[in-house]
Amino acid sequence: MFDLSGKIALITGSSRGLGLSIAKALFNSGATIIINGRNQETLDKASKKINHNESMIYKRPFDITNIDDIHKNISNIKKEIGTIDILVNNAGIQSRELLTDIKISDWDNVLKTNLTSPFILSQAIVPGMIKKKAGKIINICSITSEVTRPSIAPYVSAKGGLKMLTKAMAIEWAQYNIQVNGIGPGLFKTEMNTALVEDKKFNNWVCERTPAGRWGEPDELSGTAVLLASKASSYINGQIIYVDGGFLSSM
């Protein structure tokens, strides 16, 4: 049920962090994977981390906030590799500023990367899934799709929107045997969170606030990604699975 042999998966923002772990998990489950980021050198390094001989791995450096780049690359992928069966909208950015200090340009950039780009990518890829009457879209949401804290308003606005976009996609595309679900990571040790991990006060708060008593490790997201990419989730649709060490369940 979890075998992804013969499937083609595109994972955005997969040169490091959670995206790299998800790409590795899908690859290890048999999928041909397409990793994405803006930097070719970083993608080359990531590819070798997944599989040293780089077989069944394609690297596509393009900007997911550029609509022309998206359509050009999706078209090329279809011609050169095949129809995408699994899309993981993982790429995201953060901007930490209080509401009174947020620049409009920063707000726009976070919303464009974390919310608008998943919409445009999904819209570009879904016709192929509709034609095959099968497909999986996984949107990487966040615990901040549900809760927030000071200084991350653009991020939580985007991730809250992505939760509802996931549900909108699910109800419109379910008729074509396409399942659209989300994963909501809790606080994970990734490059984006390095400063927070190294902040003793914040680190202590995370460990005390999370029932598991620690940060999540990127590979701990892998099983959920494989589930949602596989036949095992054929009747799961429009759901957000929170992988958070119990964070959202605790007062």
Q: How far apart are CA 170 and CA 241, in angstroms?
A: 14
pLDDT above 90 for 29:
yes
Please report, for residues 27, 111, 136, 176, 181, the alpha-carbon distance to residue 222 in angstroms, rounded to integers and kept in the order given: 11, 26, 16, 26, 15
- pLDDT at position 53: 80
SS3 state at 237: coil
> Using one digit for the tens of pLDDT, what is the confidence trace for 102-155?
999 999 999 999 999 999 999 999 999 999 999 999 999 999 999 999 999 999
- pLDDT at position 94: 92
> Using one digit for the tens of pLDDT, what is the confidence trace for 235-244?
999 999 999 9
Of the pLDDT bands very low, low, confident and very high (cuts 50, 70, 90), residue 54 is confident
Residues 6+ apart with CB under 8 A from 133: 176, 177
Residues 6+ apart with CB under 8 A from 89: 12, 117, 118, 121, 122, 137, 138, 139, 140, 162
SS3 state at 102: coil
Q: pTM of the predicted model, to two decimals?
A: 0.97
Q: How far apart are CA 181 and CA 141, in angstroms?
A: 10
Of the pLDDT bands very low, low, confident and very high (cuts 50, 70, 90), residue 32 is very high
- pLDDT at position 251: 84
Residue among 148, 151, 136, 217 at smallest CA distance from 182: 136
- What mean pLDDT do residues 70-86 have? 97
| Inter-residue contact 203 to 196 (CB < 8 Å) | yes
Catalytic residue (choose from 155, 176, 235, 242):
155
- What mean pLDDT do residues 90-113 have? 96
The residue count of the chain comes to 251
Place of tokens 């499937």: 7
How much of the chain, in percent, has pLDDT values that exceed 70?
100
Q: How far apart are CA 88 and CA 8, in angstroms?
A: 11
89 forms bridges with which residues in the sheet? 139
Residue among 185, 202, 93 at smallest CA distance from 146: 185
- What mean pLDDT do residues 31-48 have? 96
User: What's the mean pLDDT when you consider all of the chain?
Assistant: 96
Q: How far apart are CA 39 and CA 62, in angstroms?
A: 8
The answer to whether residue 155 is catalytic is yes
